Chain A
Amino acid sequence: MKLHDQFRTGWRNLSRQKLRSGLTIFAIVVGAVSVTVMLSLVTSAKSFLTSSFQKTGEDRRVIVTPTPGLDYRESTWANWTDGSGVKLTDEMVTRLAAIPGVRHATPLTSFGYFDSVEAGTTVLTLKNTNMVAYEPNGTITRDVAAGRQLEPGDDGIGIVISTDVANNLGFRGAYDSALGSPITLTPRKDMGNQTNKAPVTLTVVGVITTDGAQMEVTLNSARTFIPTFEQCTGGGQNTQPTCTSQNDLDRNGYASVYLDVDSTKHVDAVVIAAQKLSVGVAAGKDEIANQEQTFTVIGAVLGGIGAIALFVAAIGVINTMVMATLERTREIGIMRAIGATKRTIRRLFTVEAGVLGFLGGVLGVAVSFGVAALLNSILNRQLAENGVTARDVISVPAGLALLVIAVTTGIGMLAGRLPARRAANLDPVEALRHE
């Protein structure tokens, strides 16, 4: 029997039992969709993570902190220093910059000298707002919702705010209108012998999508309003204490230093070299690897759930095909009488089961594309609201789609084997007598 005749016969036999075939295919569709969507979510999350890390250069970034033991994620938020650990001085920054492979060593500091921020008539207290200062030399990159990130020309002029701050200042959903707005920062009054207590006014040059409330200025801007503390020692009834005044930044050192490594290949060597300076070191590359591993585990679990759904669908195929062989016993007898070999009968049923699997796979993949599109339309709106430029984050990889179709077809054929063999081994004389 020719192959296309087998397919035609298989297709006809399936369409004779539309409801049953339909339900069996539906079960495969459910399995195929769960596998495809779950694995697509995981691969999409992975590639979104990797691409966003690559876009911001974080895969080449090494963060140095005063104390060892912080991982990458922690070191990005633990940028407050109380002076403990190794003090990250300008000299240390120079030494870090001298490590082979390091393009830039960018110090970053964080401070809390301000009480409130004012834009127009809106006044916010700055309790949970992170104020960050760094040298804008391209090492530290931000995902920008409007405007741009800090540039060297922003010294004493420009400020970048996060979407959270922009929302609270009344620019929700219209971040462009925040650009150019003057922002006035009022210093805290409770900072002891702080010398500089005048309000500072800066202009918003960008809105960034950093998590949480954050405002950023250049390191040179920060130096102009970082307070100086007087420290006095000695002094008694008759003697004057000796007082030295020291800039807060000089006193505590930087919170962290961001190293921009020229290539991801050199990151490991840079990490080892930096660790020799007894500082804390964390690489973005390792963070990517960690997160990817997490996603792989999640993917395995979700894929496993999908695989169970597919397994159940395979049982459905077996059931359908066993029913078919029982119902068609006499037909099988007739086919044998007019010359069908055992092999032909076996193939007919295997092809039929394979067609069930194939259709289930194709429909399942089609539905998965639909689900991905639906999720994207929901997600795109949310991304837009949060000022993230990325769109259509979830995608079904073509390779996965083809693999799912191949697997469901294979599962169908495998599930059809047992009933097919049963059909092929029927005694034709007995089968013809079957009522």
Chain B
Amino acid sequence: MALIECTGLTKTYRLGDEVVKALDGVTLTIEAGDFVAIAGPSGSGKSTLANVIGGLDRPDSGQVVVDGMNLATARDKQLSAYRNSHVGFVFQSFNLQVHETALENVISPLVIGGVGRKKERRRAGLAALEKVGLADRAHHRPTQLSGGQRQRVAIARALVNNPSVVIADEPTGNLDSARGVEVMEELARLNREDGITLIVITHDTGVAERATRVLTIVDGKVTERVGGR
């Protein structure tokens, strides 16, 4: 059974006088365990698609069905719960809370979801940091970490709630190529070893080549080619 089913998604933005079709009748299915790359030029609607799939944005029309719930019409509470426990986001600019330590950042989805007690959260947070090789940086603040380390903290945060899907929006965009490769390897390993469904938005062909499926989006329309790994 498909993990995520998108049907006829549309979304338009108004930039001044210009109407931009970010999504123009997008229909696609993502299976559990997929490693999907969404590629395309900037402004093509990649991020919009990722945000809609991640429950962060709503389409103008069409539906996104996850576990029988239509994200397009779900209430804020349901949508937030979905983002909290089913989705892990990794952003280009890391989006860590700068005043919190790595560990505090990692456990923040647990705090917001009201999951567990302090000790359990701590254990889960340290385990997630362990997984990305940063257990020894748990009490460092983001400003005391390198770009690659910050992104790994963000990955640990995305993983802490055992999500079914991780959505990474240009995860290597702010990293040099060596760190970028490291981060992509990290994400690919999670997909391979832990079976986490991975959606990576990128315009880096090197990144796209690791994926099992590559969706190309141009002017809000999606075309697919099956990638080779």
A279 to nearest B CB, angstroms?
Answer: 78
- Taking CB atoms, residues of chain B closer than 8 Å to A336 are 56, 80, 83
Q: Is B113 an interface residue (CB 8 A)?
A: yes
Output the residue of A334, A338, A428 with the most chain B CB within 10 A: A338
Q: Are B89 and A5 in contact (CB under 8 A)?
A: no
Cα distance A335–B89 when bound, in Å? 11
Q: Are B114 and A1 in contact (CB under 8 A)?
A: yes
Q: Are B56 and A339 in contact (CB under 8 A)?
A: no
A5 touches which of B85, B114, B157 (Cβ 8 Å): B114
B70-100 vs A, CB cutoff 8 Å, 1 = contact: the mask equals 0000001100110111000101000111010
Q: Which residue of A lies closest to B99 (CB)?
A: A16
Q: Are A334 and B114 in contact (CB under 8 A)?
A: no
From 364 to 414 in chain A, residues with beta carbon under 8 angstroms from any chain B beta carbon are: none
Q: Is B7 an interface residue (CB 8 A)?
A: no
Q: Are B91 and A339 in contact (CB under 8 A)?
A: no
Stretch with Cβ within 8 A of B (4 or more), from A41-49, A117-125, A341-349: A341-349
Q: Are A337 and B83 in contact (CB under 8 A)?
A: yes
Cα distance A333–B91 when bound, in Å? 12
Q: Are A341 and B111 in contact (CB under 8 A)?
A: no
A1-44 vs B, CB cutoff 8 Å, 1 = contact: the mask equals 11001000100100010000000000000000000000000000
Q: Which residue of B lies closest to A16 (CB)?
A: B99
Chain A interface mostly: helix
From 320 to 371 in chain A, residues with beta carbon under 8 angstroms from any chain B beta carbon are: 330-331, 333-344
Cα distance A343–B108 when bound, in Å? 17
Q: Are B77 and A338 in contact (CB under 8 A)?
A: no
Q: Are B95 and A339 in contact (CB under 8 A)?
A: no
Q: Which residue of B lies closest to A435 (CB)?
A: B93
Q: Is A92 an interface residue (CB 8 A)?
A: no
Cα distance A429–B54 when bound, in Å? 11
- Taking CB atoms, residues of chain B closer than 8 Å to A307 are none
Q: Are A432 and B80 in contact (CB under 8 A)?
A: no
Tell whether A429 pairs with B97 under 8 Å between CB atoms, given A338-B157, A339-B109.
no
Q: Are B99 and A340 in contact (CB under 8 A)?
A: no
Q: Which residue of B lies closest to A2 (CB)?
A: B114
Q: Are B77 and A339 in contact (CB under 8 A)?
A: no
Q: Are B89 and A337 in contact (CB under 8 A)?
A: yes
B72 to nearest A CB, angstroms?
Answer: 15
Q: Is B57 an interface residue (CB 8 A)?
A: yes
Q: Are B97 and A339 in contact (CB under 8 A)?
A: no
Q: Which residue of B lies closest to A335 (CB)?
A: B112
Cα distance A9–B114 when bound, in Å? 13
Q: Is B51 an interface residue (CB 8 A)?
A: yes
Tell whether A334 pairs with B95 under 8 Å between CB atoms, given A1-B111, A429-B56.
yes
- Taking CB atoms, residues of chain B closer than 8 Å to A16 are 99
From 96 to 149 in chain B, residues with beta carbon under 8 angstroms from any chain A beta carbon are: 96-97, 99, 108-109, 111-114
B155 to nearest A CB, angstroms?
Answer: 13
A258 to nearest B CB, angstroms?
Answer: 72
- Taking CB atoms, residues of chain A closer than 8 Å to B108 are 335, 338
Cα distance A334–B118 when bound, in Å? 21
B: contact size bracket = 20 to 34
Q: Which residue of A lies closest to B98 (CB)?
A: A331
Q: Are B109 and A341 in contact (CB under 8 A)?
A: no
Cα distance A342–B80 when bound, in Å? 9
- Taking CB atoms, residues of chain A closer than 8 Å to B56 are 336-337, 428-429, 432
Q: Which residue of A lies closest to B51 (CB)?
A: A429
Q: Are A340 and B76 in contact (CB under 8 A)?
A: no
Cα distance A354–B12 when bound, in Å? 40
- Taking CB atoms, residues of chain B closer than 8 Å to A340 are 80, 84, 112
B76 touches which of A334, A338, A341 (Cβ 8 Å): A341
Tell whether A330 pairs with B95 under 8 Å between CB atoms, given A337-B83, A338-B89.
yes
Tell whether A344 pairs with B112 under 8 Å between CB atoms, given A338-B89, A429-B56, A429-B57.
yes
A217 to nearest B CB, angstroms?
Answer: 80
A339 to nearest B CB, angstroms?
Answer: 2
Q: Which residue of B lies closest to A330 (CB)?
A: B95
Q: Which residue of A lies closest to B158 (CB)?
A: A338
B121 to nearest A CB, angstroms?
Answer: 10
Cα distance A432–B170 when bound, in Å? 14
Cα distance A339–B83 when bound, in Å? 5
Cα distance A428–B157 when bound, in Å? 18
A433 to nearest B CB, angstroms?
Answer: 9
Q: Which residue of B lies closest to A334 (CB)?
A: B95
B80 touches which of A12, A339, A429 (Cβ 8 Å): A339
Cα distance A342–B81 when bound, in Å? 11
- Taking CB atoms, residues of chain A closer than 8 Å to B109 are 338-339
B85 touches which of A334, A339, A343 (Cβ 8 Å): A339
Cα distance A340–B82 when bound, in Å? 10
- Taking CB atoms, residues of chain A closer than 8 Å to B85 are 339
Cα distance A379–B46 when bound, in Å? 76
A339 touches which of B51, B57, B99, B113 (Cβ 8 Å): B113
B125 to nearest A CB, angstroms?
Answer: 13
- Taking CB atoms, residues of chain B closer than 8 Å to A342 are 76, 80
Cα distance A189–B73 when bound, in Å? 108
Cα distance A209–B199 when bound, in Å? 90
Q: Which residue of A lies closest to B117 (CB)?
A: A2
- Taking CB atoms, residues of chain B closer than 8 Å to A12 are 99
Q: List 7 A-B contacts (CB under 8 A).
A: A330-B95, A331-B97, A334-B95, A337-B83, A337-B95, A341-B76, A432-B56
Closest 8 CB pairs of A and B: A339-B84, A341-B80, A338-B109, A339-B83, A2-B114, A340-B112, A334-B95, A337-B89
Which residues of A does B touch, CB under 8 Å? 1-2, 5, 9, 12, 16, 330-331, 333-344, 428-429, 432
Other than the given A1-B114, A337-B54, A432-B56, 5 more pairs (CB < 8 A) read A338-B108, A339-B85, A340-B80, A341-B76, A343-B76
